[in-house]
């Protein structure tokens, strides 16, 4: 029942890690604290890792959290959500709700890929071998 917030200046990103059993109120408090750090630093990138959580919130709680994520992410921001394979179904729901609320959120199974994606500028695309843009 804990969380860790790690602001990384060189990446202009806040890393938020949830661990253990997290009641909905504590999830919200951690998210608000992380959003506060973003606001203080004038950053718009967050990586949320829920792989160490023992249980997932209910679908209704997930929808509330997904809607609330966008309250602290300024326009042009990115949120990467790192999940375990058994959390993918919930992650899809969070991604859909967040994007519907105009938050550029994507979920990942690999924390390294999530970190690379969240640091990338939305305007800058990575070029593939065939010269076509990849996102």
Domain ranges of the chain: 2-134
Query: Please, are residues 81 and 69 in contact by the beta-carbon 8 Å criterion?
Result: no
Q: What is the pLDDT of residue 14?
A: 94
DSSP assignments along 69-119, one per residue? HGGG--TT-EEEEE--GGGHHHHHHHHHHHHHTT-EEEEES-HHHHHHHHH
Q: What is the pLDDT of residue 123?
A: 55
Q: What is the pLDDT of residue 122?
A: 58
CATH class of the domain defined by 2-134? alpha beta
Q: What is the pLDDT of residue 132?
A: 39
Q: What is the pLDDT of residue 56?
A: 75
The rounded distance, in Å, linking the Cα atoms of 44 and 14 is: 9
Instruction: Give the residue ranges of the chain where pLDDT is below 50.
Output: 124-135
49-83 in b/e form (b: 16+ CB < 10 A) is bbeebeebbeeeebbbbbebbbebbeeebbbbbbb
The rounded distance, in Å, linking the Cα atoms of 48 and 73 is: 13
């Amino acid at each position: 029942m804990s969380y860790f917030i790690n602001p990384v200046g060189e990446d202009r990103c806040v890393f938020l890690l949830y661990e253990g059993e997290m009641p909905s109120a504590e999830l919200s408090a951690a998210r608000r604290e992380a959003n506060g750090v973003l606001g203080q630093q004038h950053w718009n990138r967050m990586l949320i890792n829920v792989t160490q959580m023992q249980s997932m919130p209910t679908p209704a709680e997930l929808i509330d959290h997904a809607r609330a994520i966008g309250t602290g992410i300024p326009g042009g921001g990115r949120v990467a959500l790192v999940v375990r394979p058994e959390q993918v179904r919930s992650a899809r729901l969070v991604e859909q709700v967040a994007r519907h609320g105009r938050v550029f959120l994507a979920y990942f199974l690999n924390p390294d890929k999530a970190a690379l994606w969240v640091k990338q500028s939305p305007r800058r695309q990575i070029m593939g071998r065939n010269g076509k843009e990849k996102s």
